[in-house]
Structure 1
């Protein structure tokens, strides 16, 4: 591979395994990992307790954090793998919260205005990896990791997110896309499953940067 990718991103619903796969791929390839700010996020616990009250605050926080990450990726000299993309903030989470009535029209319009201004300065990832997962597996994974603030996540909220993910991925044209169905694999416990993912990524990257 003569030229190296600058930006790889891993996308998918809550509980799909994005963070774990990001960590594993960063270690395997020697990439720098950028993670979603959940541990230090000042709004997350409040949001899951009262989505209507805290949706706008949470989404603006995530949007700003992701925008800073993307700018750092493009100005740096290392290959970065990013846990979740700025597109998901707007096209999945903010959109779903608005559709489910947690994000009022005024706040949603204000949010989209901010996103539209930011996205003009954003370059798409060289490769977007989407982890496709059914609701049952998402719920099992969320329960297994046992984060207190996720205990209040509603099934209908996850279903709404999955629906928006399907729509977004079907229309994604910003760059190279690799869809990985994680329903029947365990890339953490099964080395062959992880090796299969790596093999697919290698094929995509060699095609991009041969």
Structure 2
């Protein structure tokens, strides 16, 4: 069996980490998560987005590039919580569009990203967790992370718009979309089983 790279994408609060935990256990994959608790910029970013936007995005870009190198060198199937593409196609341009990242910093970021992108391969399967703003807000409130208390609603809405545009044009490989508004990946066993079956159907064409 070839080593495969499975990635889960979606907005803040979509349920990516929960799904990654579930799938890694079910399929015996190795999980890779975002560095949230150890991220030195996250608290500051939510308090002052304009000041810390560039620092945060560079941190995430480096983190995810390092993860991709680990995937390349490893011998197990990896399931990754968020992709490097989301940083460049969604988060950074959204911050720039909202005036939270200067044009100078944004152009610098894009140049750095292009250098990184030339050295990486896309995931073998991308799973997109599609969710409406009410679903995202409800999930964010449920998990109660302190640094997300200052999360701006307009920021979340703009991210969703960027996500929808990105997914509509995604052409780097197989894509599976999960409707999070009508899917319970925590309590509903039928929903969870359906996700397993849909993923397995995609994987049958990969492995």
1:201 and 1:4 mapped to 2: Cα distance? 16
TM-score, normalised on structure 1? Answer: 0.97
> With structure 2 as the length reference, what TM-score do the two structures score?
0.98
Contact 1:6 1:74 in 2 (8 A): no
Structure 1: state its 5+ residue gaps.
Answer: none
Residue 135 of structure 1 aligns with which residue? 133
Instruction: Give the 3-state SS of the residue equivalent to 1:179 in structure 2.
Output: strand
2:58 equivalent in structure 1: 60
Tell me, in whole angstroms, the C-alpha distance in 2 between the residues paired with 1:184 and 1:22: 18
Q: Does 2:157 correspond to 1:156?
A: no
Instruction: Please state if 1:50 is matched with 2:22.
Output: no
* Alpha-carbon offset, residue 4 of structure 1: 4.0
Partner residue in 2 for 1:106 = 104
Q: Does 1:7 align with 2:5?
A: yes
Alignment of 1:173-188 (within 5 A): 173-188=171-186
> Cα offset for 1:177?
0.6
Q: Which runs of no fewer than 5 residues in structure 2 stay unpaired?
A: none
Residue 208 of structure 1 deviates from its aligned partner by 2.3
Alpha-carbon contact 1:14-1:138 (below 8 Å) kept: yes
Residue 194 of structure 1: how far off its partner (Å): 0.7
Q: Does 1:84 align with 2:82?
A: yes
Instruction: Measure, in 1, the Cα distance between the counterparts of 2:125 and 2:165.
Output: 19
Partner of 1:205: 203
CA contact (8 A) 1:31 1:80 kept: yes
Could you say what the CA RMSD is over the residues aligned between the two structures, in angstroms?
0.7
Contact in 2 for aligned 1:6/1:80 (Cα 8 Å): yes
Could you report, residue by residue, the CA deviation over 1:109-156 in whole angstroms, capped at 9, with x for unpaired residues? 000000000000110000000000000000000000000000111111
Per-residue CA deviation, residues 133-184 of structure 1 (Å, 9 max, x unaligned), is 0000000000000000001111110110000001110111111111111101
Partner of 1:125: 123
Say whether the 8 Å CA contact 1:5–1:126 is kept in structure 2: no
Mapped contact 2:3–2:75 kept (Cα < 8 A): no
Aligned residue for 1:72?
70
